[in-house]
Structure formats: structure tokens, C-alpha cells
Amino acid sequence: MEFVLRRWKEEDAASIQSYANHEKIAANLRNVFPYPYPPGAAAQYIRSCIEQEGDGQVTRAIAVDGTAVGSIGVFFGSDVYEKSAELGYWLGEPFWNQGIMSEAVVKMCRYVFSKYNIERIFAEPFAGNAASRRVLEKAGFSLEGILKNSIYKNGVLQDSCMYALTRR
């Protein structure tokens, strides 16, 4: 399926509000991404992405036919982690299993490596999130390890995985 990564627009809030309000998406993300997704949360998120662009982060809307259907971002480390950045992403359920996210990850990482002085991009999917792990593997990330009992989500202790892609 055709998609583009583009900068956020305030008018993306309605579609993101709709796609983000999904229990299956929130189940595999940090608690900062709630379910139910409260009214106004998408507009607030988009405003923060626009305001903070290039200042410690690069975020993009994943758009299909002009409509924002997901998000991808790279968040830069600081101090001794200044050459590292964390990748985060989600996609509306109607667009799952179509190769969009793997390609979006590749495009985003290429962009960040070409524009910023970053040597390593990492992601920490929940160990049980096989789809996200496949996305990273298809995009060239390597599994560096399993972090035992590192996540506490919805009353359940879970493992997470450390995946990384380096510039070289």
C-alpha cells in the first residue's frame, strides 16, 4: 500500500484521534499512550510534535491517501547517549500487515542517519509483540537482548526486547 511520511499538520487530529483510540494499539505501547484515547489527546500530541521538531526529536505522520493513519518518531538521547536515539511507532489497525510500518521504519532511519549525528537507533518492543519485532527485523534491526520483567503494563509483568540499527 502506498503511504508517505510527512510533517504533522493540526488538521491530522481528527483522523489520529480515531485511529489511536484502539485497545490493541495501546496494549503494546507505554502508558503515555492510553486507552481509551481521551478527547483532545491527538491535537495535543500533534502540537507537541510540531513545536519540538528537530529539538530532540523527529516525528512524522504516516499518511495514506492524504490521511494520517499512524505515527513514527525518533527521540534523541542526551549526555553519554547523545549518539543514540529511540524509535517509536504505531499504525491504525486497518493498515496492519501491509508492509507499511517496515518500510516507514527504513525510511525514517535513513532520514535520521543522513541528517543528524546519530550512530545508533534502538527500539524496545514488548517481547510478546511479534508483529513489532518482525517490523524491526525486516527493517534491518538486530536483536541485542531480552530484558526480563522490564515492563509492567495493565497489571502484568512482561519482558521487552532491545533491537538496534547502527549507522555502519
Is the CB of residue 25 less than 8 Å from the CB of residue 33? Answer: yes
Domain 4-166 in CATH 3.40.630.30? The answer is yes
- What is the mean predicted confidence (pLDDT) over 78-101? 98
Domains of the chain by residue range: 4-166
Q: Residue 168: pLDDT band by 50, 70, 90 thresholds?
A: confident
pLDDT digits (tens, 9 = 90+) for 115-150: 999 999 999 999 999 999 999 999 999 999 999 999
> What is the distance between the alpha carbons of residues 30 and 28, in angstroms, rounded to a whole number?
7
- Count other Cβ atoms within 10 Å, centred on residue 31: 10
pTM for the whole structure:
0.96
- What is the mean predicted confidence (pLDDT) over 27-54? 96
> What is the distance between the alpha carbons of residues 86 and 52, in angstroms, rounded to a whole number?
15
Residues near 94 by beta carbon (within 8 Å), at least 6 away in sequence? 69
